[in-house]
Amino acid sequence: MLLGLLGMFLFGVCLVAVDYRDAHRSIEEGLERNDYGKGAKTEEIRAQYGKKSHEFEVEVGEQELTGPEAQEMFDRCIARLEQDILGENKSLDQVETDLDLVTSIPGEAVDISWELDRYDLMDMYGTLHTEEIPKEGALINLKAVLTYHLNPSRQAMYECTAHLCRPIRTEGEQEEADLEEAVRHEEETTRTRKMVPLPQTLHGQTVKYYGQMDSRGQVIIVMTLVIGLLLIALQKQNADQAVAKRREQMRLDYPEIVNKLMLFMGAGMTAKRAWRKTVSDYERQKETWGERYAYEEMKLACHEMDSGIMESETYERFGQRCGLQEYAKLGALLSQNLKRGAKGLNQILTSEAEQAFEERKARAKRLGEEAGTKLLLPMFLMLAVVMIIVIVPAFMSMQL
């Protein structure tokens, strides 16, 4: 982090030096224009005369072409137009799809305007009116006026003739076009009627008509399925989070539970009385602590003992329900205590409590390290924002 800040500081010092040099450079020789095609630029000037100084901005246009240079530009543009206007057609001798009547050419300072002699067959954008083109085709004259936008008095003209043809269709496409034309004809000739009659035959075949199915129902079904899948995934995620939260809480409570059992049994209580005493203490403090999963399982084990289940089996069932190795081990120790006697149990519980507290400290340390790692991304984002705030204005103010 310190190295990054030092680097940013040195970079800022360099930018200040560059700005100072640019601010004090002399431009007595004049202002340099951009080359042709690069556009105008704005120059900031500080003029000093006598004891006075004045700062102002001047817009310097790009370098204008001479007469021969402008003619060369027009020749290049016309050569490109002959190819660019074709679109998907191979040549102007057979135009079956729309032409591309471009109004500018990339990299060239010209504006192009078009004039047609048959606007009924094509519009000024090159779109064909296919239904208006005769079956045998038609000729159309196109005229393009090229204007040098830095000097509108310099112009050039390009003229060409295109042979417009109806697109060649398959038998099925022709039938579809004839059907659409027949329907349009009926609509145009019966505009005084409430209902538009539809042609009942086409090339000797009977035609039946149906309304288009609304897709809203399909969209709703798809959306419902997607939302259902998302809800199922969300429910599974919430269940997994709940299980993880339960396991983590039980691991945190384990050292305290073992410690209480060790203290109560060391004071002379039996395992059953120590167990009940631990549960009763939890019940008194439940409003303050809130619900704790491990203690709830211990309370359920007390109910099982009251219902007649053997004490040793109850401890083993408790360990199985908790689903954690620590609690399974505790249940096995208490169960063995009843079967083999209490000799050495207190010492075992003491060792278990110490080990549990060490694991709890290690877990707390690990969680702290993970929290620090999660903060790295926001810190890097903040560093990026600071660098952008510092560097972008500096580069924008540099005079290249």
Q: What is the pLDDT of residues 203-240, one digit of tens each?
A: 788 888 777 766 777 888 889 899 999 999 999 999 98
User: Distance (Å, rounded) from C-alpha 207 to C-alpha 196?
Assistant: 15
Contact 280/375 with Cβ under 8 angstroms? no
pLDDT at 387 over 60: yes
Q: Which of 210-224, 245-259, 341-355, 382-396 bottoms out in mean pLDDT, i.e. has the lowest?
A: 341-355
Q: What does the pLDDT read at residue 235?
A: 92
Give, as one character, the DSSP assignment of residue 38.
Answer: S
| pLDDT over 90 percentage in the chain | 4
Q: Which of 23-37, 68-82, 254-268, 309-323 bottoms out in mean pLDDT, i.e. has the lowest?
A: 23-37
Q: What does the pLDDT read at residue 232?
A: 92
Q: Which of 138-142, 253-257, 369-373 has the highest mean pLDDT?
A: 138-142
pLDDT at 35 over 80: no
pLDDT at 23 over 60: no
Q: Which of 66-75, 172-181, 339-348, 369-378 has the highest mean pLDDT?
A: 66-75
| pLDDT over 70 percentage in the chain | 82
User: Between β-strands 41-49 and 205-206, what pairing exists: parallel, antiparallel or unpaired?
Assistant: unpaired
Q: Supply φ then ψ for residue 115, to 5 degrees.
A: -130, 140
Q: What does the pLDDT read at residue 32?
A: 66
Say what the pTM is.
Answer: 0.43
Residue 70: pLDDT band with limits 50, 70, 90: confident
Q: What does the pLDDT read at residue 150?
A: 76
Q: Which of 116-120, 273-277, 341-345, 378-382 bottoms out in mean pLDDT, i.e. has the lowest?
A: 341-345
Q: What does the pLDDT read at residue 141?
A: 92
User: Distance (Å, rounded) from C-alpha 178 to C-alpha 30?
Assistant: 70
Q: What does the pLDDT read at residue 212?
A: 72
User: Distance (Å, rounded) from C-alpha 176 to C-alpha 163?
Assistant: 25
User: Distance (Å, rounded) from C-alpha 15 to C-alpha 37?
Assistant: 30
DSSP for 210-277 reads -PPPPSHHHHHHHHHHHHHHHHHHHHHHHHHHHHHHHHHHHHHHHHHHHHHHHHHHHTT--HHHHHHH
Higher pLDDT, 392 or 245: 245
Q: Supply φ then ψ for residue 60, to 5 degrees.
A: -105, 115
Q: Which of 13-27, 231-245, 248-262 bottoms out in mean pLDDT, i.e. has the lowest?
A: 13-27
Q: What does the pLDDT read at residue 36?
A: 59
Q: What does the pLDDT read at residue 231?
A: 92
Q: What does the pLDDT read at residue 38?
A: 60
One-letter amino acid of 144: A
Q: What does the pLDDT read at residue 17?
A: 54
Give residue limits of the domains in the chain.
67-164, 247-376
Contact 73/83 with Cβ under 8 angstroms? no
Q: Which of 23-32, 75-84, 310-319 bottoms out in mean pLDDT, i.e. has the lowest?
A: 23-32
Q: What does the pLDDT read at residue 287?
A: 83
Q: What does the pLDDT read at residue 6?
A: 52
- The β-bridge partners of 141 are 161
Mean confidence (pLDDT) of the chain: 79
pLDDT at 400 over 80: no
Mean of pLDDT values over 261-271: 82
